[in-house]
Amino acid sequence: MTALLEQLVQFIGDNPSLAGIICFAAAMGEALFIIGLVVPSTVVLVGAGTLVGLGKLDPVSIFIWTTVGATVGDALSYWFGYFYKDKVRTLWPLSRYPDLMDRGEAFFRLHGGKSVFIGRFVPGVKSVVPGIAGMVGMNATRFTIINVASAFAWAVAHLGPGILAGSALGAIGEVSGRLALVLGALLVVAFLAIMLGRWLILIIMPLFPNLHSIIVGWFANRPDRLSKWIARTFDPRHPRSVGMLFSALLLLVTMPLFFLLIGEIAPGEPMVRIDVAILNMFNSLRSPLGDKLMVTITLLGDGIVVLMVAISVAVYLFARKAWRRATGFIIALSVSAMFVPVLKTILERSRPLELYTGANAFSFPSGHATQNAVLYGICAVLIAHNRSRWLKATVFSIAASIVIAIGFSRIYLAAHWTSDVLGGLLFGTAMVSAFAFLFGPIHNEKLGRTTLGFIIMLALSVFGTYHVMQSYPSAMEAYKPQDERSFVTATSWKQWTWQTLPARRVGLDAETEEPLIIQYAGDPKRFQSFLELNGWHAAPKWSLTSASGFVVGETPPDKLPALPRTLNGRPPKLILIKNDDANAKDPGRWILHLWPVESDILLNGKLLPLYQGSVVHETILRPMGEFSGPKTDRQVPLLKDNPALLFPGAVVRKQPSGQEVVLVSEPSEADLSADNQNPRTKARAQ
């Protein structure tokens, strides 16, 4: 994965014109009338700035492309509004967003011509202000001058943070490439969760304005009391009915999913294997810098910090005489605090890492994920209540980022299985939905939402910082990676220990895949060097150049990178390829993967790491002669074709299923010399 990212960055760095065009398209797309709502220009431009900071892109050309793109986008929106005038409101999909048009017009009336400059930086109106300027007949010359100036400032604001981040990541990458992968995974998860929520609030819901009325009308026409109550409660004329309806639907979804997940963590279920695979994957990514970052984040989610932030919020709610919301807030947190240890005691699921005693020694669900989801979810509901869609999206994005980061840290540090965190998030979301449904309709309890947000961030900063400073050394010790490697003698391994290793590969999806027919003790580089003497070679690394071979119809099999395969979440240490006979009618390739195992073999007083391997055959499908797609058609070769048999001293063992496994140890220097190959090896090579 690191190689893929490096190659991708290198390709873009070598082709600045392509990067410039992408920045131009993103900047222009965000400025287009309404369309800009769904164009993720910030992500693209911050990423481009990051590449500039890493020294992969020319800052001047990227800045020019971005500025020109923003200028062109606003200009197109202006002339669109200029020519269509009031007809704009009747065009689809613009007709679906009347409130957005109204806000844009109000913003323009308030700020006049300078709204073109200011509006570019204001979420919720930036995609409509240029069009509004055209609709009201703003002078084209004046608009153009303001447009260019604002585009210049906007480009600086979007590229600048990325340049700083790129410089920082460059320094981090010099120390630890693994940390960059961890940060990247966290950012991807947070980005997907936040963008899905924002699109639901800002884009999807306005497209179905009549669905609410249709559903409520159906219940109103039914004779039973429950239907009548639902119709009254969710009447579209009630200003809070939409929020209540969404809360009720979210509650009806999350609670069944939570109890379904409980059934999926029973021993032997696929979710258990997925948990193990994900745990192993993160263990392979851990680094000292990553550990420090994740320990800090997980300490911010500890119970003492949650308690102090909750007390601060409760005190403020009572001080503002918001009695019912304060009471509901305390009840929700208290129920969650009691429910988690009770369910842990009932299920008695072991943690990946021994950390606590009593009920907290058990794993499901994650207390950190549950309590923080409830705390910050309810705080988001209180702050965003009766606010605009843009403000709601922003507030919930911040809350989701905090909760996701804390949950992610628990998985990374092996404090919880992935399903524990998912369970905590589901139950926490259900509690927040119940709170929003019950206390959302309250309108006679006035809150200073800005003040409440400030209190929450202040309490988190003060108490969180103090707790981190006090607990950091002991937490680093408690969460340090566990060395679970074991060792056996070579004799024991070849006689019986080999049978204790997995017989087949298990992927991240918990599905059982191809047989593992090689067990190798030694240095993978020696393994590769020996097989290179016999026609095998390293698989091409993933890059934009090598990946482009999949869309070319004549790409040789050995020029295509191998598709990703993991063993219980662990990436392969070695991937080798060997083509079929060149004279074959439809040549394919053999692919050998070698994965690390948590065992060492004691051979001649030396500990050798143990690996398991598979050998699969792929044919190359070339539909219409335009693509090259590998397809696995054989999961195991004949025993005589197992490349491990080429090694001196190879031992064949048969599993109960009848599958043969070849056990070998690393070759000597003499074995690695082409001149010293034994006759059998030479024959195999020919």
- Higher-confidence position of 166 and 335: 335
What contacts 346, CB < 8 A, 6 or more positions away?
none
Which pLDDT band holds residue 680 (cuts at 50, 70, 90)? Answer: very low
What contacts 249, CB < 8 A, 6 or more positions away?
none
- Residue 478 CB-density burial (10 A; 0-12 exposed, 13-18 middle, 19+ buried): middle
Mean pLDDT of all residues in the chain?
76
Residue 585 has pLDDT above 80, yes or no: no
Residue 608 has pLDDT above 60, yes or no: yes
Of residues 307, 312, 458, the one with CA closest to residue 372: 307
User: What confidence tens digit (pLDDT) does each residue in 121-135 have?
Assistant: 665 556 667 777 777
Asked which of 150-154, 476-480, 502-506, 649-653 is least confident by mean pLDDT, the reply is 150-154
Greatest mean pLDDT among 159-168, 469-478, 578-587 lies in 469-478
Greatest mean pLDDT among 126-130, 139-143, 360-364 lies in 360-364
Quote the tokens at residue 48: 């481009």
- Higher-confidence position of 85 and 607: 607
Q: How long is the chain? A: 686
Which pLDDT band holds residue 606 (cuts at 50, 70, 90)? Answer: confident
User: What confidence tens digit (pLDDT) does each residue in 251-267 have?
Assistant: 778 888 888 888 888 87
pLDDT of amino acid 483:
67
User: What confidence tens digit (pLDDT) does each residue in 31-87 have?
Assistant: 675 555 545 556 567 667 766 766 666 777 778 888 888 888 888 878 777 776 666
Residue 611 has pLDDT above 90, yes or no: yes
Which pLDDT band holds residue 212 (cuts at 50, 70, 90)? Answer: low
634: β partners: 617
Q: What is the mean pLDDT of residues 462-489?
A: 86
Residues 678, 682, 684, 685, CA torsion sign: positive
Whole-angstrom distance, CA of residue 486 vs CA of residue 189? 34
Asked which of 20-34, 40-54, 153-167, 170-184 is least confident by mean pLDDT, the reply is 170-184
pLDDT of amino acid 350:
85
Residue 684 has pLDDT above 70, yes or no: no
Which pLDDT band holds residue 513 (cuts at 50, 70, 90)? Answer: confident
pLDDT of amino acid 662:
93
Q: Is the pTM of this model over 0.85?
A: no
Domain boundaries along the sequence of the chain: 2-175, 240-478, 487-685
Asked which of 37-51, 262-276, 540-554 is least confident by mean pLDDT, the reply is 37-51
Residue 682 has pLDDT above 50, yes or no: no
Of residues 595, 596, 578, the one with CA closest to residue 587: 578
Q: What is the mean pLDDT of residues 377-403?
A: 81
CA dist 81 → 75, 86, 100, 141, 369 (Å): 10, 8, 15, 16, 47
Residue 516 has pLDDT above 70, yes or no: yes
What contacts 253, CB < 8 A, 6 or more positions away?
none
Residue 389 has pLDDT above 90, yes or no: no
Whole-angstrom distance, CA of residue 344 vs CA of residue 115? 55
Residue 194 has pLDDT above 60, yes or no: no
Cα 273 from chain centre: 20
pLDDT of amino acid 112:
64
What is the three-class DSSP state of 231?
helix
Whole-angstrom distance, CA of residue 558 vs CA of residue 536? 10
pLDDT of amino acid 374:
93
Which pLDDT band holds residue 520 (cuts at 50, 70, 90)? Answer: very high
Q: What is the mean pLDDT of residues 663-680?
A: 66
Helix (H) or strand (E) holding 602: strand 589-603
